[in-house]
Amino acid sequence: MFDSNPNSAISKTTSYKVVLPFYIYAGISFLVASLFLFAHSEVFINHYYQPKILAITHIMALGWATMLILGASHQLVPVFIEGRLYSDKLAYLSFLFLAVGVPVLVYGFYTFDMNIPAKLGGIFVVFAVLTFLINLAVSIIKSNRDNIHAMFVITATFWLFYTVLLGLILVYNFNTDLLPDHSLHFLSLHAHSGILGWFLLLIVGVASRLIPMFLISKYTNDRLLWWIYAVINVALILYQCIFIFFDNGLSLFIPVIMILIAISLFVFYCIRAFQNRMRSKLDEQMKISLISVAMMLFLILLFIIIISMLCFSEVKPSLVLTYGFLIFFGWLSSLMLGMTFKTLPFIVWNKVYHHRAAFGNTPSPKELFEHTIFKIMCIIYLIGFSIFAIGIILASPYLLKIGAFLIIITSILYNINVFKIILHKASST
């Protein structure tokens, strides 16, 4: 996203007024989700389909990860296409719709009221994604530039729209027979459309641009990225067809193996970028983000185990819960924690020092947050995340409480640093 001179690429992108509300809301959502996790940790000993788990999952998926990604994308896509965002008003609207929709939807899940709260919240979320999609599509079309990274982002957004629209249909299906089976049957389709179509596709597209940039690596391979793009999308379409038209668990191995191949190619891409880097020392933000890249392989292997058990035996609920927890509190959260402090400091730096940079004596973006707090946050996060995951597997209420408490501390430290950056002001001297 941003090169070594903060005054270059970023000065041409979206106003901080558009982007910052997304970061603030996401940080608060992470804190709220961790508090819910602590208050209701005991539900992770039982079955995965429960109101409290649905509520926590959607806070993490929509209020935390998606909100943060939407904010960053308003800043990143103009850089990718070397143009401007089509409409700041649509960006504000997407934030407003999502900011209202998430708590209403979560309330509906928390109380298991699938009437007005869940339906209204779902409608707001659909409109949030639709306005974001329109804004991105028009921005890319008007730029007249072919860019593989922008293609990843816009395609991922189409999958997100499909995911939230399907989710809304599932909510209505609780009271009205819109689908040929009950909503629980389609839960896996809804979840993996979002996890793979939205999160995986977008993360690969954005990270394949940011990781070489932050490593100061000259490595680039658009041909490989196009192959990854094609394999992920073909696998997703194949998964939809198998799920809807064929009741054969063994067939699911085909798209899953394709996703494994795509992730392996992306890991290879990251390794090559790492090998060709000019910066020898990795900062903490890159380390925690690269952990999430490695975690993708582990998650797909775990998914293969779950499918195997579906075909030949009964799947243990604890395994599904662990899989879901690793996705939202592991893979996605580790990436969000790292990338926040690689992108947000540049956004605020541009806000505060853009017009002063030519006169010198300005701090670098990395000086806008407290690195000691960040390091402590990462250590506590990794310990808490690991303890909670073990607690799910062992069905230990004590480990679950300890892990959840440490994740609360992580979210507090995260917000302290986020607000330290956002409230930063230039010295009067």
Confidence at residue 260, expressed as pLDDT on a 0 to 100 scale? 87
The answer to whether residue 352 scores a pLDDT higher than 90 is no
- Inside any domain, residue 4: no
Which position has the higher pLDDT, 131 or 331? 131
Confidence at residue 245, expressed as pLDDT on a 0 to 100 scale? 85
Distances (CA, A) of 416 to 152, 197, 316, 422: 32, 32, 38, 10
C-alpha 404/C-alpha 288 separation (Å) is 19
Which position has the higher pLDDT, 95 or 7? 95
Give 217-246 pLDDT, tens digit per residue: 888 899 999 999 999 999 999 999 988 888
CB 247 within 8 A of CB 181: no
The answer to whether residue 408 scores a pLDDT higher than 80 is yes
100: Cβ–Cβ under 8 A, 6 or more apart, which residues? 124
Give 3-24 pLDDT, tens digit per residue: 444 444 444 567 888 999 999 9
- Inside any domain, residue 427: no
Give 310-337 pLDDT, tens digit per residue: 555 666 777 888 888 988 998 899 889 9
Percent of the chain having pLDDT more than 70? 90
For the chain, the average pLDDT equals 87
Residue 306 pLDDT class (50, 70, 90 cuts):
low
Confidence at residue 5, expressed as pLDDT on a 0 to 100 scale? 47
**By C-alpha distance, which of 334, 316, 341 is closest to 410?**
334
How many structural domains does the chain have? 1
The answer to whether residue 422 scores a pLDDT higher than 90 is yes
- Inside any domain, residue 120: yes
C-alpha 410/C-alpha 130 separation (Å) is 32
Q: Which two tokens stand for residue 128?
A: 């949030």
Confidence at residue 2, expressed as pLDDT on a 0 to 100 scale? 45
- Inside any domain, residue 327: yes
- Inside any domain, residue 2: no
Q: For residue 78, how many C-alpha atoms fall within 13 Å in the half-sphere facing its CB?
A: 21
Domain that includes residue 343, residue range: 9-422
Q: What is the CATH number of the domain that holds 45?
A: 1.20.210.10
The answer to whether residue 64 scores a pLDDT higher than 70 is yes
Confidence at residue 340, expressed as pLDDT on a 0 to 100 scale? 92
C-alpha 67/C-alpha 72 separation (Å) is 9
Under DSSP, the state recorded for 277 is B
pTM: 0.90
Q: Percentage helix, strand, coil, to 5, in the chain? A: 80, 0, 20
- Inside any domain, residue 373: yes
The answer to whether residue 358 scores a pLDDT higher than 60 is no
- Inside any domain, residue 344: yes
- Inside any domain, residue 250: yes
Confidence at residue 11, expressed as pLDDT on a 0 to 100 scale? 44
